[in-house]
Structure 1
Amino acid sequence: MDTADELPRWATKIAVLLREDLAPWQALNVTSFLVSGVVATGPELVGEPYEDADGTGYLPMIRQPVLVLAGTAELLHTARTRALARDVTPAVFTADLFRTPGDVQNRAAVKAVAGADLDLVGLAVHGPKNAVDKVVKGARMHP
């Protein structure tokens, strides 16, 4: 565990890969949903609650940085394949999810399409640094 005087060292990495043609509101929305999936399966990624000098409490946040990257639709499909080949389970967001009204419908929309045919607009992964780097290879930092 890091102390207050140490710089944090992470053996893992969180990366979000977004399709490069998303509108700004879509990119933010997709990033939020995808990171929630990563955190839901990795509770150790969440730090302690915050508190200001007045004693007002605030919610905890993720303990490590989240890289947000951009790439083509083809790169998203390649990243999905790479993640699965490395036993890194991705969170996915498809174009269909922009048109669904809720969680149950979101899962049904993904389930209705074969993995290779998903219209991916975003993907997030958490895992060992080297594995995540290989999954998102070819992506660039999101503008």
Structure 2
Amino acid sequence: MFETKIAFIVRDDLATWQRLNVVAFLATGIASAAPEIMGQPYIDAAGRHYGKISGQPMLIFAADLAGLQSVHRKGIERELTLIPYVEAMFSTGNDEANREVFLAEDASNMNFVGLGIRGPKKAVDKVIKGLSLHS
């Protein structure tokens, strides 16, 4: 069993492509913040080498904006690793612009479309308590 837990929370009113896009970006943030979760490269029966993926499960939940803001607040209180994605980032074309629009957000009322969180299992469970798995 794992001592840590990884969860992604995406806003429930997004288009399917947006939800998938947000989770993909958040997953890269978690992998960057916790490189130790990465397993070994995959090798097929013909000897071809493939890239690594996380060796730890990741759960995906859905929430409305208020739910995302609550997870954010609780995650900060518990000092968890948080990877944010705000709605304004959909309108940018690169990482620098993403950071600019993120910095411009009202820090006490961010317009989240997704959050990635990682930390001790019990702490993450408390932060996501009441959320439903994405369906």
Q: When the two structures are superposed, what TM-score results if normalisation uses the length of structure 2?
A: 0.97
Instruction: Measure how far apart 1:91 and its partner are.
Output: 0.4
Q: 1:43 aligns with which of 35, 38, 53?
A: 35
Output the aligned Cα RMSD.
0.7
Deviation at 1:116, TM superposition (A): 1.5
1:74 equivalent in alignment to 2:66: yes
SS in 1 for 2:21: helix
Quote the Cα distance in structure 1 between the aligned partners of 2:133 and 2:32.
24
**Which residue number corresponds to residue 87 of structure 2?**
95
Is 1:19 the counterpart of 2:11? The answer is: yes
| Stretches of structure 2 lacking an aligned partner (at least 5 in a row) | none
Structure 1 counterpart of 2:114: 122
Partner SS for 2:47? coil
- Which residue number corresponds to residue 77 of structure 2? 85
Please give the per-residue CA displacement for 1:1-20, whole angstroms capped at 9, x wherever unaligned: xxxxxxxx211110000111
After superposing on structure 2, the runs of 4+ consecutive aligned residues of structure 1 that deviate more than 2 Å are: none
Identity fraction in percent: 39
- Inter-partner Cα distance in structure 2 for 1:37 and 1:27: 16
Structure 2 counterpart of 1:19, which letter?
Answer: R
Which of the two has higher C-alpha Rg? 1
How many residues align structurally? 135
Cα distance in structure 2, aligned partners of 1:141 and 1:117:
24
Gap runs ≥5 in structure 1: 1-8
1:26-53 CA distances to partner (integer Å, 9 max, x unpaired)? 0000000011111101010100000011
Cα deviation per residue 1:44-70 (whole Å; 9 max; x = unaligned)?
010000001110000010011110000
- Residues 16 and 67, structure 1, Cα contact 8 Å, conserved in 2: yes
1:57 to 39, 44, 49: 49
